[in-house]
A and B are shown apart, each in its own frame.
Chain A
Amino acid sequence: MATDLSRFRQTFIDESRDGLDAMEAGLLGLERGQADADTINAIFRAAHSIKGGAGTFGFGTIAAFTHRVETLLDEVRAGSRAATAELIAALLAAVDVLRGLIDGAAAGASDDPSACVDVAARLQALLDRQPAVAGPAVPAGPADTAPAGWRIRFAPQPEMVAGGNDPVRLLRELATLGEATVVADRSRLPALEALDPEALHLAWTVTLTGPAATREAILAVFEWVEGECELDVAPLEARRDAVSPASAAPAPTAPPAAGGGGPPAPAVGRGAAAPVPGDATSLRVSTAQLDELGNLVGELVITQSMLGQIGRDFEPRRLEQLLSGLAQLERNTRELQESVMRIRMVPISFAFNRFPRMVHDISARLGKKVHLRVTGEGTELDKTVIEKIGDPLVHLVRNALDHGIEPPEERRAAGKPEEATLTLAACHRGGEIVVEIADDGRGIARERVRAKAVERGIIAADAALSDEQVLDLIWHPGFSTASEVSDLSGRGVGMDVVRRNIQALGGGVELRSREGAGTAVAIRLPLTLAILDGQLARLGAQVFVVPLVSIVESLKIDPGQLGELAGRAQVYRLRSDYIPVLRAADAFGIPASAGSAGGMLMVVESDGRRAGIVVDELLAQQQVVIKSLEANFRAVPGLSGATILGDGTVALILDVPGLIGMTHRGGDGSRHGHPRDGLAVAA
């Protein structure tokens, strides 16, 4: 059976790209002095996996190149090599080379060893300078004199079988090498009453003849049981001393030396250069998601056959069946569609990952000190959106580095820490994703913006503009032009293009800036596809969705624990605590149903503040696709969006933090130094 390895290559390429990102992040961490074992292990593991996979899947150049990287990292891990700036720089260069090689592999190009010559030589120089603990010297095995045969005495230790090695297997394997005669030695067998059935008391002597029966082959059979047996392998003609199998262990394959004198490798720097576009072509899907898709297709097939049957022998009284079948078909189709859409959701870290390196490289080139802070990188959004916000983000980050953040001297003079902070943050807010790029730099000088706008003829010299209007000029198409764009930011692309791109996605951009304090750009992206794990609950006649993440517990309401405070606020006694209660009529304008006595209390929490929501009935828990209320309507306080249920109706999603914050004002229903405020909603 020759297995076609190419089918696994795409997976290998994808995981290697992730691995390289992880290596890069780890190396940048090391550079900042974050030399903990976890970081180093993570970097090592990534290199190790790439090397192993590359070897297995037939990428020899990658495997050989990564071997050096791995060796260096292993020494760092073992503490025998220091993570110097030089080493980190070389390893970062190696990451770039590997990215190039992986891209080449992805494009189906054959390995081009010349691409890595320079960096390979750099790594080799590092390896040479401080030799690692010498590996086992490769003993020149005794010349095979091809004896007529071998006498093998094999005496396992009694506990060998517990380690999973079956002597019968070893003997059988030995027999594959030639003609074997096996004689069991029962001399060590104890008396029956002393016999431990799990211990091994036998030994064997095997006489083996045949052309394949070399000493190496024989020792290879016993490779795994070295140290768990006595083994003596002697040629049949003349007895020799016992040989320890270890001395004939296969030699580690030496990595091919870097071909010297090759053409100088092109600089493969990534960093500030355009990001690798390769990651757009494939998407990894969890088996759980595939299973879900499979299930949905299965349901679809069942529905289809049911409808087919109704169609074949239709009679009017089956109309109801037909209609319900069609409704089921509609539901299946929608679920299938949503499931497919959900697969497209990826964390925004895909777009953020390039920035640590980019910020590192650019700030180094500009002589600025910048600390990049990234938050909310797990926030999920649609893959197509991720792909399209990449360039605007790059532009904004470059702008911040280039124009916003001051050189260290200037910051010092302004009384700021020398190291600037650049923040990349993502979060969900009311059915939208907000991505913010903020710096604590010099901010935007209004009079300079104004002067430039006058110079460009965008506004009249005497135009009366508010601060905000001046800031708005930055988005004007004619504002930034290629002529004054530095080599780093812009490339002739103005902020207007950034805004246009974001608007094309149905989003918006907001700019805030304070002179001397910094600039922040917030990108809002609609999240028609964001998903949420929700608890469906009936409140009055309506079904609402409560995000599972904010639910602490749900319990049956004991009317005796429901009380009133100051005649208005309701509280519920939950064990030793009181949590506040607010009527649904107040919060939602929903007509109160007959009585909440039979209802459930959903205890929710946000920012450490607990509250209860009284619902009439808990329904299913399910993943729901968040739909924006704002797209065609507007933001509604207390709601974070809406979703479409299986029956096609709209259910509203409660904004738990918003609800708690909304009714926060002074309502404190707790005691005993456990100030917890919030609300409970009673239907």
Chain B
Amino acid sequence: MSAIAADAGAPAGHAQYLTFVLAGEEYGVDILRVQEIKGWDVPTPIPNTPDHIRGVINLRGTIVPIVDLRRRFGLPVAEYGPMTVVIVLKVHGADRQRIIGIVVDAVSDVCSVGGDELRPPPDFGGAVAVDFVRGLATVGGRMTILLDIDQLLDAVTAPAA
């Protein structure tokens, strides 16, 4: 984990982010962690798991869990539509890297954010828990929430409540 914090904090360096839409808000993830983007396919549900785990899919022979980000963030649940996509991410855990898929409303863009443009998140007290947020940045005039995707791992590895 510490290694990741170090690389996120690289000053002055620009990092590229893949941005996407979730309940009207713009979010971004480090593009180096994006393995691929694919359309929504109904996954195989896993019993006894939290609601935000939609199930698992077969990604060229490996079993990959699919996390509904709206549900994970406690946002209103939406119907999956033709724009719904799954972003396949490489997530670093304490012991190893995992591959997970996140369901988002739509993918928007790839943008570059300098280290100095990154603002610490205010205390939202709202929808998205601060834990998931690496920082805020203004991209193309819009506020974008940059996610610390490694924190998403808990969404996958934590046993059912």
A627-B63 in contact given A648-B58, A649-B58, A650-B57 (Cβ < 8 Å) = yes
**At the interface, yes or no: B96 with Cβ under 8 Å from chain A?**
yes
A598 to B65, CA, bound (A): 33
Chain A residues numbered 497-556 whose CB sits less than 8 Å from any CB in chain B: 506, 508, 528, 542
**At the interface, yes or no: A587 with Cβ under 8 Å from chain B?**
yes
Q: What residues of A have a CB within 8 angstroms of the CB of B49 in the complex?
A: 636
Tell me the count of chain A residues lying within 8 A, CB to CB, of chain B.
26
**At the interface, yes or no: B99 with Cβ under 8 Å from chain A?**
yes
A633-B47 in contact given A642-B56, A644-B58, A650-B56 (Cβ < 8 Å) = no
Q: Are B43 and A650 in contact (CB under 8 A)?
A: yes
Q: Are B100 and A652 in contact (CB under 8 A)?
A: no
A644 to B56, CA, bound (A): 11
**At the interface, yes or no: B46 with Cβ under 8 Å from chain A?**
yes
A-B contact count (CB 8 A): 71
**At the interface, yes or no: B14 with Cβ under 8 Å from chain A?**
no
Q: How far is the CB of B69 from chain A (nearest CB, A)?
A: 16
**At the interface, yes or no: A634 with Cβ under 8 Å from chain B?**
yes
Q: Are A629 and B56 in contact (CB under 8 A)?
A: yes
Interface string of A593-629 (1 = CB under 8 A from B): 0000000000000000000000000000000000111
Please classify how large the interface on chain B is, using the bins under 10, 10 to 19, 20 to 34, 35 or more: 20 to 34
Q: What residues of A have a CB within 8 angstroms of the CB of B98 in the complex?
A: 631-633
**At the interface, yes or no: A53 with Cβ under 8 Å from chain B?**
no
Q: How far is the CB of A310 from chain B (nearest CB, A)?
A: 25
Q: Are A631 and B156 in contact (CB under 8 A)?
A: no
Chain B residues numbered 142-161 whose CB sits less than 8 Å from any CB in chain A: 156-157, 159
**At the interface, yes or no: A639 with Cβ under 8 Å from chain B?**
yes
Q: Are A542 and B62 in contact (CB under 8 A)?
A: no
Q: How far is the CB of A619 from chain B (nearest CB, A)?
A: 15
Q: Are A637 and B44 in contact (CB under 8 A)?
A: no
Q: What residues of B have a CB within 8 angstroms of the CB of A587 in the complex?
A: 47
Q: What residues of B have a CB within 8 angstroms of the CB of A632 in the complex?
A: 62-65, 98-100, 156
**At the interface, yes or no: A590 with Cβ under 8 Å from chain B?**
yes
A627 to B64, CA, bound (A): 10
**At the interface, yes or no: A580 with Cβ under 8 Å from chain B?**
no
**At the interface, yes or no: B109 with Cβ under 8 Å from chain A?**
no
Chain A residues numbered 42-99 whose CB sits less than 8 Å from any CB in chain B: none
A636 to B63, CA, bound (A): 13
Q: Are A650 and B65 in contact (CB under 8 A)?
A: no
**At the interface, yes or no: A8 with Cβ under 8 Å from chain B?**
no
A276 to B56, CA, bound (A): 43
Q: Are A651 and B47 in contact (CB under 8 A)?
A: no
Q: What residues of A have a CB within 8 angstroms of the CB of B47 in the complex?
A: 587-590, 636, 638-639, 652
B positions within 8 Å CB-CB of A:
43-49, 55-58, 61-65, 95-96, 98-100, 156-157, 159
